[in-house]
Amino acid sequence: MTKLIVRRVIWTIPVLLLVIFLTFLLMKAIPGGPFTSEKGVPEEILANMNAKYGLDSPWYEQFFRYVWHAAQGDLGVSMTQKSRTVVDVIWDAFPVSIHLGVLAFGLAMLIGIPAGIVAALKHNTIWDYGAMFYSTIGWALPHFIVGPVLIYVFALRLGWFPTSRWVGVDSWVLPTITLGTALSAYFARLTRGSMLETLQQDYVRTARAKGLPFRTVVLKHVLRNSLIPVVTQAGPLLGFVITGSFITEYVFAIPGLGKYFVSSVSNRDYSVVMGLAVLLSSIIIFANLVVDILYGILDPRIRYE
């Protein structure tokens, strides 16, 4: 087990470097510099500005300097808000995004997993069809439609919740539902499929044949084994959650990473865009690491591969 963990942790280093490198190249390819403006900045000032932010040195030097600084927790200074560093921006925005993500993930598991379990246990009944109907529709509805419709009905018409911001419990409700709906649909489908497969296993039949009550079989044997795929999918799903949170934060004007990312792109604030892209990628890489290790704990067979 330790060996597995060590190997996985070491593997993340080249992955991170490659990701930073790719992001760096992309940022270099963006036409126009951060100091390009309609007014036309004099050459000398432009040169000074570039020198100040280290943009006058060769690209590989910039890259290595970036990695070196990043390793020490310094992602540079925001190019539009002079007094703030990229890390400041992350400190402001990250907790909000995590909060939203955790609430949505929680809601999705709370609805999706039980729905999937019920659908599988009552296979081919009205329960199953209902859950699958929900899951099919929920997965097909884009966040940018769910959010506005929720705002219109529950904020503008009924006035139960605020239309935007992230300031108190009542303002959390609509964004959480917006981000959580598609996720819960996905969890429901995944849990159902996995449960159906597990229910057909020989060891389940054996347990039943030994005279164990169905309830015990489900709780002891089926659930544990069928939730493994649900856990392993959580890593890749994080990418989906990040995409969803960009839209959710945009629609509800929530000051999280997604909203900062979109506004920094239009402000050409390269250091913030680069820092956030690297951060988001690292989160996913880290999540996959955790999933791999969890997988090893849940399913001992993996350890010996």
Partner 1 sequence: MSDERTETGRHGASPVDADVFDAGDPVVLEQSTLFGDVVRRYSKNRAAMAALFILLLMIVYSTVGPWLRPWSFDEGLFSNPSLLPYQLPDLAHWFGTDQHGRDLFVRMAMGGRVSLLIAFAATGIVLVVGVIYGSLSGFIGGKTDEAMMRFVDILYGLPYLPFAIILLVILGAGIVPMLLALAVVSWLTPSRLVRGQMLTLKQNEYVEAARALGAGRSRIVFRHLLPNTLGIIVVAMFLEVPGMILGEATLSFLGLGISAPDASWGTLASEGWKALRSHPWMIILPGIFIGVTVLCFNFVGDGFRDAIDPRTKETK
Residues at the site binding partner 1, with contacts judged by CB under 8 A? 15, 18-19, 23, 26-27, 29-31, 136-137, 139-145, 148-149, 151-152, 156, 189, 193, 196-197, 235-236, 238-239, 242-243, 246-247, 250-251, 261-262, 265, 273, 276-277, 280-281, 284-285, 288
In whole angstroms, how far apart are CA 202 and each of 164, 205, 221? 52, 5, 11
Residue 163 CB, nearest approach to partner 1 (Å): 9
Burial of 41 (0-12, 13-18, 19+ CB in 10 A): middle
**Quick one: residue 32, left, alpha or beta (phi over 0 = left, psi -120 to 50 = alpha)?**
left
Residue 284 CB, nearest approach to partner 1 (Å): 5
Contact 20, 300 (CB under 8 A): no
Cβ proximity to partner 1: between 78 and 288 the closer is: 288
C-alpha span between 178 and 163 (Å, rounded): 13
Q: Which two tokens stand for residue 167?
A: 């300031």
Residue 152 CB, nearest approach to partner 1 (Å): 5
Cβ proximity to partner 1: between 15 and 121 the closer is: 15
C-alpha R_g of the chain:
24
Contact 22, 303 (CB under 8 A): no
Residue 55 CB, nearest approach to partner 1 (Å): 17
Residue 92 CB, nearest approach to partner 1 (Å): 18
Cβ proximity to partner 1: between 117 and 242 the closer is: 242
Cβ proximity to partner 1: between 11 and 169 the closer is: 11
Cβ proximity to partner 1: between 195 and 227 the closer is: 195
Burial of 62 (0-12, 13-18, 19+ CB in 10 A): middle
Residue 297 CB, nearest approach to partner 1 (Å): 20
The single-letter DSSP state of residue 53 is T
Cβ proximity to partner 1: between 1 and 26 the closer is: 26
